[in-house]
């Protein structure tokens, strides 16, 4: 199985750090205007949450803190979010639809320059497949927008993922694999998309070779190389407030 070494977390929290009570959602939203004053405390609590201390944040608090870190582009959160993707198989229980809708944007905005963290999240055999797919989509965007990896290295990584990574069955991870390959303009991976489709890893009608070809054309028509990602709504998260309003309404119900 493909193994990727992960750099140490950039935000280590000693065991003696005291975890404070849960923060009201309205107060969390107010930290958007005073992020410098609140960030260190909230990121420590998120680190504790990712380490298994689920008394450090409620599910709705964790949702809010992750989104605020994304909105502010706080790179201290990137390693923590990648760890959650790799290790928390229940991440969708507290992120909800955000596991596919806003998680890629959070990962893009908080990127700390260590692509190995995202690669480790993608290949984790215990991570939620939807969250891992979001990590792969974010990695693809960062390769094109910020040069997070060379094209040669990214192609090699995609090939290793297709060959070695779980699950070896139908999964959102494989459809995302195909879209990322197309969004990066990697036409040489077309035969591998066809192989995934024939094996049933990508269901017919989801993203087959015809879709791949069309997306390659879209990608090549755009000077920035980001048109394919834009079509998939993959972009940095700039505004967390709509997501926070959603979790407020979910908590109230």
pLDDT in tens, 109-134: 999 999 999 999 999 999 999 999 99
Domain that holds residue 179: 25-252
DSSP annotation of 24 reads P
In a domain, 8, yes or no: no
In this prediction, residues 206-224 reach a mean pLDDT of: 97
Crossing angle for the helix pair 115-123 and 78-87, to the nearest 10 degrees = 10
Domain annotation covers residue 172: yes
Residue 104, in any domain of the structure = yes
Q: Count the alpha carbons within 13 Å of 196 in the hemisphere toward its beta carbon.
A: 34
For residues 235 and 239, give the distance between their C-alpha atoms in angstroms, rounded to a whole number. 11
Domain membership flag for residue 234 = yes
Residue 16 lies in a domain: no
Q: Sort 129 into a burial class: Cβ within 10 Å, 0-12 / 13-18 / 19+.
A: middle
pLDDT band of residue 152 (cuts 50, 70, 90) is very high
Comparing CA positions, the residue from 218, 216, 145, 205 lying closest to residue 175 is 205
Cα-Cα-Cα-Cα dihedral sign, residues 168, 173, 179, 182: negative
pTM reported for the whole predicted model: 0.88
Domain total in the chain: 1
Q: What is the pLDDT of residues 11-42, one digit of tens each?
A: 433 333 333 444 545 666 677 778 988 899 99
CB atoms within 10 A of CB 180: 28
Give the position of tokens 């609590």.
45
Question: Backbone phi, then psi, for 49, in 5-degree steps?
Answer: -60, -45
Beta carbons of 219 and 187 less than 8 angstroms apart: no
Does residue 17 lie within any of the structural domains?
no
pLDDT digits (tens, 9 = 90+) for 40-95: 999 999 999 999 999 999 999 999 999 999 999 999 999 999 999 999 999 999 99
110 within a domain of the structure (yes/no): yes
Is 15 part of any domain? no
Tell me what percent of the residues of the chain surpass a pLDDT of 70. 85
C-alpha span between 131 and 88 (Å, rounded): 10
Tokens of 187: 């036409």
Instruction: Provide the pLDDT for residue 120.
Output: 99
């Amino acid at each position: 199985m493909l193994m990727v070494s992960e750099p140490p977390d950039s935000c280590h929290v000693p065991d003696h750090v005291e975890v404070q009570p849960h923060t009201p959602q309205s107060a969390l939203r107010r930290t958007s205007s005073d992020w410098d004053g609140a960030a260190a405390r909230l990121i420590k609590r998120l680190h504790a949450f990712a380490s298994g201390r689920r008394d450090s944040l409620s599910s709705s608090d964790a949702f809010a803190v992750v989104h605020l870190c994304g909105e502010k582009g706080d790179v201290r959160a990137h390693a923590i979010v990648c760890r959650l993707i790799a290790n928390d198989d229940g991440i969708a229980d507290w992120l909800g639809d955000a596991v596919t809708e806003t998680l890629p944007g959070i990962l893009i905005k908080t990127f700390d320059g260590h692509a190995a963290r995202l690669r480790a999240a993608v290949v984790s055999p215990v991570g939620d497949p939807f969250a891992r797919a979001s990590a792969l989509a974010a990695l693809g965007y960062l390769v094109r927008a910020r040069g997070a990896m060379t094209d040669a290295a990214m192609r090699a990584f995609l090939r290793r993922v297709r060959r070695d990574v779980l699950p070896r069955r139908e999964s959102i991870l494989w459809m995302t694999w195909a879209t990322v390959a197309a969004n990066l303009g990697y036409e040489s991976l077309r035969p591998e998309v066809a192989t995934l489709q024939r094996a049933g890893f990508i269901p017919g009608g989801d993203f087959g070779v015809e879709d791949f070809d069309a997306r390659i054309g879209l990608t090549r028509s755009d000077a920035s190389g980001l048109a394919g990602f834009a079509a998939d709504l993959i972009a940095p998260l700039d505004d967390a407030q709509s997501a926070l309003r959603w979790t407020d309404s979910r908590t109230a119900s």
